[in-house]
Chains A and B, each alone.
Chain A
Amino acid sequence: MINIILNEWKMLVRNRVFIYLTIFFVLSLSLVVWMGINQNSAQQEYRNKAQRHVRTQWDNLEAMNPHRAAHYGSYAFKPNNLLNSMDGGINDITGNVIQLEGHVQNEIVYSEASQSLSISKFGKLKSSLLLQYVIPLFLIFLAYGSISNEKETQRLKLLIFQGIPMTRLVFAKSLSIWIYGSSLLLATVFIQSMLIRSDSEVFRRLTLLVFSYGSYYYIITSLATYFSARLKNNTSALSAILATWILWTIFLPKIWGNAVEKIHPLPSRMAFKAAMKEERSKGIDGHNPSDKRREELKNKYLTEYKVDSLQQLPINFDGIVMQEDEEYGNLVWDKHFGSNYTILQKQKGLYQVSGLLNPFASLQSASMGFCGTDMIHHLDFLKKAEDYRRILIKALNDKHAYGGSKTGDWGWTVDSTFFRSVQGFSYESPKINDQMNYYLIDILCLLWWGLLVTFMIKLNTNKKIIL
């Protein structure tokens, strides 16, 4: 086997076009990786500047009532993961800014896609674009004639006559091309890890990426070689593998993506808002003094503090009402946003199952996931931003209630020392080890395909069938 692989490599290296193309690929990948890192760093710097700007404004707030500060609120800017430079995933089309304020859980807004004309349907030219579309196609071009050329020139009979088992020959041809694809992949990952500040988390993610892409390359080269062995000539082999590639990369992801949205439908924005508004109206309205539920809460506190009127309370009842309003609102947001998140995860799960038919879907999902740019990471950011909002608003409401003011004293203010004492929003992307359960199905599908093509070659490429 090793001899055949070495022989294949010798033949490849003798081909000048192949050498030029390899140099071109390595240079392109280096340039693309470098551009991706630059773009990512510039965007991240811009994002950090925005986050610092907002924090400075918060730190320098003039003295104001804590509830007014809750309305003033803050903003969370979605950070870019380090490996966003490799695969942008959903980052171009999701929003980047989320307003964190009292009474409401806002949605993330201001996506890059909404700020200009439409450009590319397949995303930015990052290394993932080359690794997912260009290199597999190149591997197809190298593999489709690997056996059929031998058949057309009658060299295959000679090789078989020399005692090389047909299956071994097919595997060896396929592996020699796979090694080439994997070398380009490793070169990309190496350049990537050299140019960014890599830690163990980044290495873990890169290792998983190498495994996913490596598996996909194995599937694509093995299948192309298999077609080359089984079909009657070069043209048939090329037609079959190109048709498969088109089906996998262009047709199925879109069709199945649309189908899962129909199987697990999300509510329309109007229905979503109306349902939340309806449930929210059943809670306390912090700004409506004639609200019945507010009366009940008032009586509870008057009894607890054994006083007759709100003025006699040692605390500010307005702050209590606001926090009660928040707690109720949080239940409503958790229910409705939670339901949406559950539907989204069901959709993702169902989409990932399509990997059984389409390994490209598994590759895409794994690539986004391991680069930290998929929906799971996005939802994690949204959840952490919401957790922070709740901490921030509770801190403000508690200050309002227990900070020394009396009920109805809306003129009471706290100064910037207090505002500065409230921690700013910081976000760290989740560790891949804790998220692996989401991507297990992608890995399993890639393994399933790897085994399938191996068995296809093993069982269907003996000399009786081929010759």
Chain B
Amino acid sequence: MIGLKDDETRLLPLMLAPAVSYIALLIGFPFVLSIAYSMTNISVGTTELKFVGLDNFISVVGSQTFWVALKNTCIITLVSQVFVVGLGNVLAGLLMADFTGKWWVRLLILLPWVAPISLGSIGWLWIFDSIYSVINWTARAIGLLGPFDWPIWLGQPDLAMASIIIVNVWRLLPLATVIILAGLSSIPQDIHDAAHVDGAGFWRHHFEITMPLVLPITLIAVLFGIVFTFTDMIVVFVLTRGGPYDTTQVLASWAFFTGIQGGDLAEGAAISLFLFPVLVAVAILFLGVARRTEVT
């Protein structure tokens, strides 16, 4: 007979093994490898390495594009999160209401999340196309655009940034909505009733009761969103490839263009490592939030 305790001590490492090996193989190993690469002179065509210390980092910091990419990464991440949270709250609020066809509407709203990012981005590429832009044709048809106005969404730096932010919002909104929806449904009806009886009007009810109560879970949505946006290169890669003239480059895409397209793996690795501090900060915040929600 095997005692329960024996069983558990044997089971625990067994159950943890998949998670640990997943992290080690798919996250830990590439991470260590990129640290190693960033301090060598490796390129795609060579396998022999030379240690160069911090040369790559110095070179990265010295390039203007890097700073543009860093700035863009932050702007895109922050601005899209603001919209995601705002719209996510509105959508989730609407979805809480009872109406016929609710199931279908929920499914529709979730679709962008289920669709592969690259596929969605390619769809958007057409929406923003310089000739076939659905937005422009529609705007012209309803008279918003004059005969000589024709915004080139991906060709003008500001509009290109806006386009990238729009696609990121579109992509992350479903997740945020679902998370906030979960938060909203977890508020007991009694609390809402109490607020009604206590005399709260619509805005007070929303801002003083509902919002603060979904805040912790919204924070989770935001942290997810930050991680997804901050590390994403597909949207930029598909829509603008960093253009016009590197004005929409982000850290991930710049690392890719430098490391893979350009062949300078070492510098690409160095660029990608600049993502690390931010992600660590986010991870710490994550744990903090998780702990706090545990207490409540």
Q: Do they bind each other?
A: no
- Listed in ascending order, the chain B residues whose CB lies under 8 Å from chain A are none
A residues with CB within 8 A of B: none
